């Protein structure tokens, strides 16, 4: 089945007939949903797995144990490292999603939660938790995975209280910029991060950006100070460097996994960028570790 490559919206909670949704997955590293956004709030706990996540305008590595809160309408995805998994070769995470409408209804039914709801709804950026708040969130979310739907309601109230006033919280993603040009560039970057392993044609990326091919080329070069395919090649080389150091995969396997389709070409481009072959890069840098 061909994977959808556009930023897409996740399934609606109404279709499930619930006020909130808990999804506990234990799957292959490459079966995660691609770049997407939704109308709901999302709380995500990575139990097993590492890699790179993109949330709004921030792309950075992630590790197991992190819990992230993402406000509605912020594009995001987790790209897992295929070398980090459990004994079954799988990654695991728990996601809780709830609409802003749930917060409104909770405020009406439980006025005692008014301060909690107000603090949550003031959050505009995606945040990661640490300290005691993180430990408590991990415990509650793990317990919820085995609870009945009714039991999860009281657990959700505990979670709302925790995310409203965390000990410490770091910003890990912001809404894409309102400026149309900057927003378009951010979405292009996210698209590349989510699809660089595949062949990305000029037709495809221009269509994604909603532009004619010639206009896209001019636009991207003006904004990034380099042609699109130069940027794409640099990104693929960076990805291949990570795989050379973190996996035992062969050069040909890394060539394919990082989006190149021809090993000789991959070797030439890599040597031009790093002044050494992929094999030399792996050997030299592993000696430094």
Residues near 3 by Cβ (< 8 Å), separated by ≥ 6? Answer: 34
Q: Is 120 exposed, middle or buried (0-12, 13-18, 19+ CB in 10 A)?
A: buried
Helix (H) or strand (E) holding 117: helix 114-121
pLDDT value at residue 63:
86
Q: Domain containing 62 — which CATH number? A: 2.60.120.10
Q: Are residues 165 and 208 in the same domain?
A: no
Q: Are residues 20 and 118 in the same domain?
A: yes
Q: Are residues 168 and 246 in the same domain?
A: no
Q: Are residues 125 and 249 in the same domain?
A: no
Rounded to whole angstroms, the Cα distance separating 100 from 41 reads 7
Q: Are residues 71 and 147 in the same domain?
A: yes
Q: Are residues 268 and 135 in the same domain?
A: no
Do the domain assignments include residue 184?
A: no
pLDDT value at residue 288:
53
Under DSSP, is residue 34 helix (H, G, I), strand (E, B) or coil? coil
Identify the domain containing residue 275 by its residue range.
196-288
Per-position pLDDT tens, the chain of length 289: 333 344 444 444 554 567 899 999 999 887 877 777 888 999 999 999 988 888 887 877 788 999 999 999 898 888 887 778 888 889 999 999 999 999 999 888 999 999 999 999 999 999 999 999 999 999 999 999 999 999 999 999 999 999 998 877 899 988 876 678 877 887 888 888 878 888 999 999 999 898 999 999 999 999 989 999 999 999 999 889 988 987 888 999 999 989 998 999 999 999 999 999 999 999 987 765 4
Q: Is 265 exposed, middle or buried (0-12, 13-18, 19+ CB in 10 A)?
A: exposed
pLDDT value at residue 9:
45
Do the domain assignments include residue 284?
A: yes
Q: Are residues 113 and 227 in the same domain?
A: no
Q: Domain containing 278 — which CATH number? A: 1.10.10.60
Rounded to whole angstroms, the Cα distance separating 141 from 159 reads 8
How many domains does the chain divide into? 2
Q: Are residues 14 and 148 in the same domain?
A: yes
């Amino acid at each position: 089945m061909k994977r959808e490559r556009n930023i897409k919206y996740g399934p609606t909670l109404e279709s499930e007939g619930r006020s909130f949704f808990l999804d506990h997955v234990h799957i292959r590293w490459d079966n995660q949903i691609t770049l997407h956004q939704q109308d709901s709030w999302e709380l995500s706990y990575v139990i097993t797995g590492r890699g790179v996540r993109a949330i709004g305008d921030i792309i950075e590595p992630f590790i197991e144990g992190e819990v992230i809160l993402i406000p509605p309408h912020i594009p995001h995805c987790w790209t897992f490292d295929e070398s980090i998994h459990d004994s079954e070769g799988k990654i695991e995470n728990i996601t809780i999603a709830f609409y802003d409408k749930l917060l409104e209804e909770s405020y009406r039914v439980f006025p005692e939660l008014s301060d909690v709801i107000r603090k949550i709804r003031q959050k505009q950026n995606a945040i990661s938790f640490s300290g005691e708040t993180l430990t408590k969130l991990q415990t509650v979310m793990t317990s919820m995975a085995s609870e009945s739907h009714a039991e999860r309601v009281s657990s959700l109230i505990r979670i709302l209280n925790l995310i409203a006033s965390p000990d410490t919280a770091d910003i890990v993603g912001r809404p894409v910029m309102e400026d149309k040009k900057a927003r378009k560039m951010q979405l292009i970057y996210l698209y590349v991060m989510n699809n660089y392993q595949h062949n990305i044609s000029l037709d495809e990326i221009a269509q994604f950006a909603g532009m004619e091919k010639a206009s896209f080329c001019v636009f991207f070069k003006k904004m990034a100070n380099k042609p699109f395919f130069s940027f794409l090649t640099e990104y693929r080389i960076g990805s291949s460097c990570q795989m050379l150091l973190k996996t035992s995969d062969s050069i040909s396997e890394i060539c394919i996994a990082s989006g190149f389709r021809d090993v000789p070409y991959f070797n030439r481009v890599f040597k031009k960028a790093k002044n050494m072959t992929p094999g030399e890069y792996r050997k030299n840098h592993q000696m430094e570790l």
